[in-house]
């Protein structure tokens, strides 16, 4: 019984390990990286004052499921508004660029920057987010 349990724990260890995801916060740098790595981009356009955006950042993106799914992408986090709703320096044109109508706006781009799909609004779980990412390739 002990050998079986030890074998199961060893087999599950890679699944439980947290994957490290390197988020970009500059779209131009992310596009260069995406081309170099031949990966699509996942872009999160969000506002500091937005509760669903904060939920994604604190509860969804850090999950093992989300992290594992994000390894297939170059993830980009673009905060475009501060708590007082003033624009974030350097990201002023991003709401127009991504045609943002509400926050968060989640966009998948191909390695050349062409939009593949989008989601307006948050996901409640890492598993739901990972399933959406997985269906966007």
Give me 1's structure tokens: 């019984």
> Which residue is associated with the tokens 């604190």?
58
State pLDDT tens for residues 97-137: 999 999 999 999 999 999 999 999 999 999 999 999 998 55
Bridge partners, residue 106, by sequence? 44, 119
Angle at 130 between CA 13 and CA 44, to 5 degrees: 120
Cα 32 to chain centroid distance, Å, stands at: 17
3-class SS at 89? coil
Rg of the chain over all Cα atoms, to the nearest angstrom? 17
Tell me how far CA of residue 62 lies from CA of 16, 54, 95, 96, in angstroms: 13, 12, 25, 28
Q: What is the mean pLDDT of the chain?
A: 89
State pLDDT tens for residues 76-86: 999 999 999 99
Q: Is the per-residue pLDDT at 44 higher than 90?
A: yes
Q: Are 64 and 129 in contact (CB under 8 A)?
A: no
Q: Is the per-residue pLDDT at 39 higher than 60?
A: yes
pLDDT of residue 135: 80
Question: Domains, the chain, ranges and CATH?
Answer: 2-134 (3.40.30.10)
> Which residue is associated with the tokens 């109508």?
101
| 20: confidence class by pLDDT, cuts 50, 70, 90 | confident
């Amino acid at each position: 019984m002990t050998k079986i349990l030890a074998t199961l724990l060893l087999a599950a260890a890679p699944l439980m390990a947290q994957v490290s995801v390197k988020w970009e916060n500059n779209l131009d740098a992310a596009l260069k990286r995406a081309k170099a790595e031949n990966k699509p981009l996942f872009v999160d356009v969000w506002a500091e004052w937005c509760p669903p955006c904060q939920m994604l950042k604190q509860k969804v993106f850090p999950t093992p499921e989300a992290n594992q799914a994000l390894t297939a992408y170059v993830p980009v986090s673009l905060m475009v508004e501060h708590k007082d709703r003033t624009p974030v320096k350097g990201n002023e044109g991003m709401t127009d660029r991504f045609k943002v109508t509400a926050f968060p706006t989640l966009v998948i781009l191909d390695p050349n920057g062409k939009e593949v799909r989008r989601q307006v609004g948050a996901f409640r779980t890492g598993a739901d987010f990972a399933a959406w990412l997985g269906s966007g390739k």
